[in-house]
Amino acid sequence: MSESNAQGYLPYGRQNISDDDIEAVIDALKSSRITQGPRVEEFEEALCEYTGADYCSVLSSGTAALHLAYAALDIGVGDEIVTSPITFAATANAARYLGADVRFADVDPASGNISVASVADKITPKTKAIVAVHLGGLPCDMREFRKLADFHGIALIEDAAHALGASFRGNSIGGGIADLAIFSFHPVKHLTTGEGGAVTTNSKSLKERIDRLRHHGIERNPENFSTPSPGRWYHEIVELGYNYRLTDFQCALGLSQLKRQAQGVARRREIAGYYRELLSPWSSSMSAQAQYDDRFSAYHLFPLQINFQALGVSRGETMDQLDQLGIGTQVHYIPVNHQPYYKSVYGEPESLPGATEYYARTLSLPMYPELSNSDVDYVVGSILNVLGLSTAESQRTKVAS
């Protein structure tokens, strides 16, 4: 392990802020409207163009986007959503904000994505929506989920926080396969606004409802008032809303970042291809996330399934040793139904063997467009060493390359 890493620490993911991004933010800060200005709509239009959706509302976070997506569908007390336990807490938490219940379905351990058959099992007369999480940017089977949702007359939502730039059968994720899709612009995601998020939809009424909920439930269109408008100051609070707005300088950053998005996804896919190539001789001990001909992953993450048990090594120690070698890794995710809060609400989690297996083996490796191929060589070489897999043969080919 004499090889050193010239790049400094390699985190599992990180943002990229260019000089152009900084310029754009400064311009916005110097303009007359630093919030509720023209850049909000500009960013929404650019996201519509990128995803192919008819409508978009940008919001203060991906969590706010989930909250308002559920609220716009009138999900509340007595209702249920079905989602994956292998997701970030917010997917489930946002339903709890509204007093709704969360039923967790199992995942396919080869992809970590929620299984259509398991979701079908969990649907009850109380179910209002299926929430498909595209883990790491790999799309779920959206054709089957659409059929299932239509069969039951319920909504289909995509948690596409990882999947900006992904597609299913040539259709962009967030472009209208689902009724609503949410995105996150947290710095670890593809594109950042610091904090931020968005909902895309092809439904004008859902878009209008989300815009109203984003701004205190205030209605400004005189045509929708309960009484004739007495003057230009007048507005009506028609329901309980929130302040979930995104500022103009955040939208300026998002607009500038979006220009590099397609290029970033292309580079992520190259990096993933190179990881797969280097890891392929070790398939008996570890495997990359499943791939499908009809799906194009945006590779927010590069999750690896490592058979720690068979190798007789602990994941905690593996992560510690990689950290000492300057390599950041992460576990996506601890099954949400095993979290103390969810146990306090629903009791001991029911057995979901796919999620249990996936969680036991998963480790996300560094993945962001600025990684070089030699960084990838270094990451893979280090993992093989730490897992005790590297042979004299692999060391020689590594030095030669």
Ligand X SMILES: *Cc1c(COP(=O)(O)O)cnc(C)c1O
Q: Considering the rule CB under 6 A, would residue 201 count as an interface residue with ligand X? A: no
330 with 12: CB under 8 angstroms?
yes
Q: Give the binding-site size for ligand X (rule: CB under 6 A).
A: 14
Residue 4 CB: number of other CB atoms within 10 A?
9
**Closest residue (Cβ) to ligand X?**
62
Q: Considering the rule CB under 6 A, would residue 88 count as an interface residue with ligand X? A: yes
Q: Considering the rule CB under 6 A, would residue 87 count as an interface residue with ligand X? A: yes
Q: Which is nearer to ligand X, 109 or 197 (CB)?
A: 197
Residue 338 CB: number of other CB atoms within 10 A?
16
CA dihedral 320, 325, 327, 328 (to 10 degrees): 30
Binding to ligand X, residues 361-400 (CB under 6 A): none
Q: Which is nearer to ligand X, 282 or 358 (CB)?
A: 358
Query: Which of 91, 318, 337, 362 touches ligand X by CB under 6 A?
Result: 91
Query: Which of 39, 67, 122, 186 touches ligand X by CB under 6 A?
Result: 186
Task: With contacts defined by CB under 6 A, name the span among 60-68, 164-172, 256-264, 289-297 that binds ligand X.
Answer: 60-68
> Residue 66 has which token pair?
């989930």
Q: Considering the rule CB under 6 A, would residue 184 count as an interface residue with ligand X? A: yes
122 with 102: CB under 8 angstroms?
no
SS3 state of residue 24: helix
Task: With contacts defined by CB under 6 A, name the span among 140-148, 158-166, 270-278, 362-370 that binds ligand X.
Answer: 158-166
Q: Considering the rule CB under 6 A, would residue 305 count as an interface residue with ligand X? A: no
CA neighbor of 289 nearest in space, from 51, 86, 4, 34: 86
Query: Which of 24, 100, 116, 133 touches ligand X by CB under 6 A?
Result: 133
Place of tokens 């069969």: 151
Q: Which is nearer to ligand X, 59 or 380 (CB)?
A: 59
Q: Which stretches of 131-260 are DSSP H helices?
A: 142-152, 204-214, 248-258
Q: Considering the rule CB under 6 A, would residue 213 count as an interface residue with ligand X? A: no
Mind giving me the DSSP string for 107-136?
B-TTT-PBPHHHHHHH--TTEEEEEEE-GG
Q: What angle do CA 76, 140, 201 make, to 5 degrees?
A: 55
CA neighbor of 124 nearest in space, from 100, 91, 96, 160: 100
Q: Which is nearer to ligand X, 105 or 325 (CB)?
A: 105
What separation, in Å, do the N-terminal and C-terminal C-alpha atoms of the chain show? 16
Q: How far apart are CA 339 and CA 155, in angstroms?
A: 26
Q: Which is nearer to ligand X, 186 or 245 (CB)?
A: 186
Q: Considering the rule CB under 6 A, would residue 129 count as an interface residue with ligand X? A: no
Query: Which of 73, 161, 253, 352 touches ligand X by CB under 6 A?
Result: 161
Least spacing, CB of residue 61 vs ligand X, in Å = 4
Q: Which is nearer to ligand X, 91 or 329 (CB)?
A: 91
Task: With contacts defined by CB under 6 A, name the span among 57-65, 67-75, 242-250, 251-259 that binds ligand X.
Answer: 57-65
Q: How far apart are CA 362 and CA 365, in angstroms?
A: 10
Task: With contacts defined by CB under 6 A, name the span among 56-64, 218-226, 340-348, 361-369 that binds ligand X.
Answer: 56-64
Query: Which of 90, 177, 198, 253 touches ligand X by CB under 6 A?
Result: 90
Q: How far apart are CA 251 and CA 108, in angstroms?
A: 36
Task: With contacts defined by CB under 6 A, name the span among 142-150, 157-165, 246-254, 355-363 that binds ligand X.
Answer: 157-165
Q: How far apart are CA 83 and CA 116, in angstroms?
A: 11
Residues that bind ligand X (CB under 6 A): 61-63, 87-88, 90-91, 133, 159, 161-162, 184, 186, 197
